Amino acid sequence: MTQVAEDIEREAGAEAVVKKFMFVNRKAPHGTIYALEGLEVVLISAAFDQDVSLAFLDDGVYQLLKGQETKAIGVKNFSPTYRALEGYDVEKLYVERESLEARGISEQQLLVAVQVVSAGEMAELMEQQDVIISS
Amino acid sequence: MAINVAGKSIETDEEGYLTNLGDWSEEVANEIAKAENVDMSQNHWEVVNFLREYYNEYQIAPAVRVLTKAIGKKLGPDKGNSKYLYELFPYGPAKQACKIAGLPKPTGCV
Amino acid sequence: MLHIVNKSPTERSALASCLAHARKGGAVLLIEDAVYAATKGSAAQASVERALRELPVYALGPDLDARGMGASVIDGVKVVDYGGFVDLVIEHRTSQSWL
C-alpha cells in the first residue's frame, strides 16, 4: 500500500464521517508515473466510502483523451481504466474548460463523461474539499 | 516460479500470478486452479470469464466490491453476492479468481 | 486553503496555475525551486505582486538561503522557517500541493 493510501485509511478511520476527497490531476499521462499512480490511489481510496471527486486541469486533461495507443512505447495503456471509475462509484469528474481550450481539445474527444467547469468553478470546488491529493 | 502445462514451463511471480497475461489458456487456468485446490465447475468458469472480459475492457482487475456488483448486474443477484463468490473461491474471489483468470493482483490488494 | 508550490516558475506552470486558483482567505507558500518566484527580477515577480493584493505569500527561508537568494526577496513576501511552515499547515483547514 502506498503512503497516500495509508494516509487516506488513517483519515477515514479516525471518525465515521464522510469526507470530501479531491484528486487533482495536472500531468500528462505517459511521460511520468504521476497519472497512473494517481489513478491507482483513486481506485484504492474508493474502498473507503468517502466522497471522492477527480479534477483534471493543465496537462492533466490529456489523461482523458480517446484513442491512446501505448503499445509501441512499451507502457501500459491505463486510459480505459477511467471508464471503470463509475463501477467504483466515483462519478464526479471535473475538467477545466480553460485547460481544454489551451490545448485545442473538445469535450467530445474525452473518453468518459465529465463535467466541464471554469477555472473559477474549479477553484470553488477545491475550497469545498476536506482533503486534496495532487498528482 | 513457474508452472508446467503440457510440457511447457509458464512463468509466474512468487505468489503464483502469471507474469505474462498472454500465456493464459484454459489449460493454464486448470493448472493454477489445481494448485489452489479449486475444482473448476461451470460456475467457476463463469466468474473467471467475466473477470477476463472486465480486464479486457478496463485494463484492471476489479476490487471485490466492484466485482460483486458487476456480477450481480450481469448474472443476477443470486450470484452477485460475496457469499456465493467466496464459496466458489474460498481465498477471495478477487485474489484467487484473478489468479486463475491469469490477471494481475487487483489494485489495492496487499 | 494553503497552496504549496515547489517548482520554478520559469520551468513549470505550477505557480501560474496555483495563482489562478488561489482565493482570498487562502495563502501561498513557495518552497524548493519555487522560491525563485519570490525574488526580485524574476519573470514571476509581477504575478506574485498581483497575488499579494489578495492573499499572503510566504517563502521558505532555508530554500532561499540555499540558493543564494536570501537577500533578494520581493517586498511583501514573508519569509518563514520550517517551524513557520508547520504553523501555516495548522492554520489552514486544507493544503494543496501544486506538483
B109 catalytic, yes or no? yes
Chain pair A-B, CB pairs under 8 angstroms: 38
What would the pLDDT profile of C76-93 be if each residue is shown by its tens digit? 999 999 999 999 999 999
What would the pLDDT profile of B52-110 be if each residue is shown by its tens digit? 999 999 999 998 889 999 999 999 999 999 999 999 999 988 789 999 999 988 765 54
Q: A-chain residues within 8 Å CB-CB of B56?
A: none
DSSP annotation of B78 reads: T
Neighbours of A114 (CB within 10 A): 18
Give the rounded percent of residues in chain C with a pLDDT score beyond 70: 100
- Which residue ranges make up each domain of chain B? 2-100
Is B2-100 a CATH 1.10.10.370 domain?
Answer: yes
Name all domains of chain A by residue range, CATH numbers in brackets. 18-134 (3.40.1260.10)
Gyration radius of chain B over CA positions: 13
Query: What length is written for chain A?
Result: 135
Q: Is the pLDDT of residue B21 over 70?
A: yes
- Which residue ranges make up each domain of chain C? 2-98
What would the pLDDT profile of A21-32 be if each residue is shown by its tens digit? 999 999 999 999
Chains B and C touch (3+ CB pairs under 8 A): no
Q: How confident is the model at residue A5 (pLDDT cuts 50, 70, 90)?
A: low
**Segment B37-50 mean pLDDT:** 97
**Segment A61-90 mean pLDDT:** 96
Q: How far is it, in rounded angstroms, from Cα C55 to Cα B36?
A: 61
CATH of the domain spanning C2-98: 3.40.1260.10
Give the pLDDT confidence score for residue B110 in this predicted structure: 46
Give the pLDDT confidence score for residue A1 in this predicted structure: 45
Q: How far is it, in rounded angstroms, from Cα B44 to Cα B50?
A: 10
Q: Is the pLDDT of residue A12 over 80?
A: no
